[in-house]
Chains A and B, each alone.
Chain A
């Protein structure tokens, strides 16, 4: 009897709690609604001040923004320096320190009109001479972007706020290269006459950007502060601190427990956890960046087109996308990034999986299966980061009778063997192919720096050149459609996915470059961020 009574009491208690909870929930909802209204009212009145803490996975090595590619420094550089034009969060080219620009009708002259009254962080005046000096030096000292800027013949400065680029041949892709990387305007008055690799300003950069560089404590943090004399929209934050956290999981925990406001380190396995979390706004982003299996076309098993075709039929892109990539990004369907929707050739699609067809192709290529049903064995050479995808592909390959080993090396070893040594059969790569469609050339042109497989088709080279000379999408689309057709026949690579990300932004962070400020700011630019707390 006593037991029954206590059971009854417990039940009553539970019910009471539930009722209480639901009531409470409603009230909370109401409060949220009112606060939302308040937020919307306040949205136009950002709060100034505060420190924004984010993370970076390794120490930047040099802040010379044009000499070398330093991914870690890039995060800081884009807040300290300006480019002529920049790429915004939607992968469009938008004004930076050049407010207007124009190609001449023959496509051989590119004129930039610069912002006026711009000052360097040390108080000196900025002028068109700085722009001329920067690009001249990139070309002369073989800076990172020099190869892609090689069509520049001469740069002139008719006045303080105008720069004219004269080109050797029409090049519609040049603006994209100027907007991309390694093209930040550097202070002529500091660098002129010095070795730009050893100038002390490389450790203490002077730029024109929204934030001033304060200090870099090696292995600990980097601090930048608001530039009160910024020529453009002034930043709201007082300072930004980049905490250097090498381990992705640690950075992620620090992000979750509030030590960081933002992080670039979200482990792939955790990418979907913020989907229904009211404390985060999730931006789904897709880059013009295709991930693909790359073959060595010079020698080995995959030099035979039939074998490459068998791979195209043999891999299961659905399985790679859902299992290895956790459904982030997009499954590849066509031979060009879906970002360039105006240029997609819908007639040439990547084939659907067909194991029997793949086996037949291997037999046609002259292979015979051994007692285990394997036609041949191979090794996929990789650098770290493709582990899950490689496992799925290994299993797919086994189905069609290719026995594949996975060999993961650290970056320098990989570069020596595969990237520069071309001593491999099959590998996987990806990478940015924008902001202009012509950037695909670096992977498929016979002299493209990222064409590691040695693909060489004179027709493709010719078409790529034609694509550069034209400017409108209507004129260019047929050219790139034809290229896709040729790619589908030659199969120098097999695409499997479009790189994407889910970027969680905490609700108290407004004006984040991935969400509110994606049209105005570049990917890691914090000018528009303000903290609502």
Chain B
């Protein structure tokens, strides 16, 4: 087991290094130049552009920039954003809490609801209800999230005026304590519902198909032949076996929690990481982007290692392979 864990950690580190190098050069391959964006296009000043290019070391070849960046990273310095001149770690830190709050809540809610509906549909397979739920899941799957968000705003904020359109706090009031928490929850409802609606069909289909798959296996038939009660077979044997794909799905979505959900964050003006990434891309803010990508790849690797360990614990066959 120890060897297994070390092997996973080693591949994790390799993945991080590879993805870091890859993104570092890929970002710089994109057309456009951050300094020229800084200087503005309405009235760009060639002298300012030259001044800033030298200041940020962008006059040097990319390989030299890469080595300089590595040196700084080893000292724990992720650099400063070109655009705002603030440290990359500070910019990321500011966004982590709202991001995790929104994505984690909605991931857990959709996991629970989606799996519940999926198992329900699988038990009622072939009935009208099952057909209806399957059909609905495809329709929702084909619905773009930002559009759904917009429609929810139109219904709940503009027409009925019961929920706020956007943001994380009431900008006019300055709530403290419990009222503050309530205020955040109120602002979170719409983006959270939107995310859940988009994610539920995923869990629904996985749970439904894997339950159906397990039910058709021979051992279930054998249990039935022994006269064991249907509920007992289902709860004790089918469900446990059917839940593994769902765990994979959930851990995948956990791994991406930190990268946020850009389109939904934009529609609801939620101060999350997705927006930070989009802005950084638009501005070609290299240090910020490299920092964010590095952090995302680290978090993905950590979650993946944990998932692998959990698998090994659940299913001993995996750790001996």
Query: Is B161 engaged at the interface, CB distance under 8 Å to the other chain?
Result: yes
The stretch among B103-111, B123-131, B167-175, B223-231 that forms the contact with chain A is: B167-175
**Which residue in chain A gives the minimum CB-CB distance to B36?**
A415
Knowing A412-B32, A420-B36, A450-B43, the reply to whether A218 touches B94 (Cβ < 8 A) is: yes
Distance to closest chain B CB from A485 (angstroms): 27
* CB–CB A254/B166 < 8 A: yes
Contacts A246-B275, A250-B267 known; A431 to B42 CB distance under 8 Å? yes
Smallest CB separation, A529 vs chain B (Å):
15
A413 located at the interface, meaning its Cβ lies under 8 Å from any Cβ of chain B in the complex:
yes
**A243 near B167: Cβ-Cβ < 8 Å:** yes
Report yes or no: B157 in contact with A257, Cβ–Cβ below 8 A: yes
In the bound complex, how far is the Cα of B272 from the Cα of A506, in angstroms?
A: 31
A345 → chain B, closest Cβ, in Å? Answer: 26
Contacts of B91 in A (CB 8 A): 218
Let me know if B40 is at the binding interface, CB within 8 A: yes
Residues of A within 8 A of B19 (CB): none
- Known A256-B158, A449-B43: A219·B276 in contact at CB below 8 Å: yes
Point out the residue from B39, B46, B51, B279 that lies within 8 Å of A69, measured CB to CB: B39
Q: Judge if A146 is at the interface, Cβ distance under 8 Å.
A: yes
Q: Would you call A244 and B31 a contact (CB within 8 A)?
A: no
Produce 1/0 per residue, B173-200, CB < 8 A to A: 0000000000000000000000000000
A526, chain B: closest CB distance, angstroms: 15
Are the CB atoms of A243 and B85 closer together than 8 Å?
no
Task: Decide if A243 touches B166 in the complex (CB within 8 Å).
Answer: yes
A357 within 8 A of B: no
- Which residue of A68, A147, A181, A243 is within 8 Å of B171 (Cβ)? A243
Closest B residue, CB atoms, query A51? B172
Q: Taking CB as reference atom, which chain A residue is nearest B285?
A: A61
Q: Does B268 contact A (CB under 8 A)?
A: yes
Known contacts A61-B84, A257-B161; decide if A411 and B32 are in contact (CB<8 Å).
yes
Interface residue range, chain B: 35 or more
In the bound complex, what is the Cα–Cα distance between A141 and B50 (angstroms)?
11
A198 within 8 A of B: yes
Partner of A68, one of B38, B41, B154, B270: B38
Distance (Å) between the CB of A325 and the closest chain B CB?
A: 21
Q: Is the CB of B95 closer than 8 A to any CB of chain A?
A: yes
Q: Tell me the smallest distance from the CB of B299 to a CB of chain A, in Å.
A: 20
Nearest B-chain residue to A261, judged by Cβ: B172
* Contact B171 A53, beta carbon cutoff 8 Å: yes
Once the chains bind, are B171 and A221 in contact (CB under 8 Å)?
yes
With an 8 A cutoff between CB atoms, is B269 at the interface?
Answer: yes
Chain B residue contacts of A257, Cβ below 8 A: 157-158, 161, 165
Is A61's CB under 8 angstroms from B165's CB?
Answer: no
CB-based contact B282/A410 at 8 Å: yes
A57-108 residues with Cβ-Cβ distance < 8 A to B are 58-59, 61-62, 68-69
Tell me the complex Cα distance, A218–B41, Å: 25
- Chain A hits for B98, CB < 8 A: 219
Sample 6 A-B pairs with CB under 8 A, ordered by A number: A68-B48, A144-B40, A198-B85, A246-B269, A249-B150, A257-B157
Nearest 10 CB-CB pairings of A with B: A412-B32, A219-B271, A69-B40, A142-B47, A245-B269, A61-B84, A142-B48, A413-B31, A61-B83, A254-B165
Query: Which residues of A are in contact with B by a Cβ distance under 8 Å?
Result: 51, 53, 58-59, 61-62, 68-69, 141-148, 181, 197-198, 202-203, 217-221, 241, 243-247, 249-251, 253-254, 256-257, 259, 409-413, 415-417, 419-420, 431-432, 442, 449-450
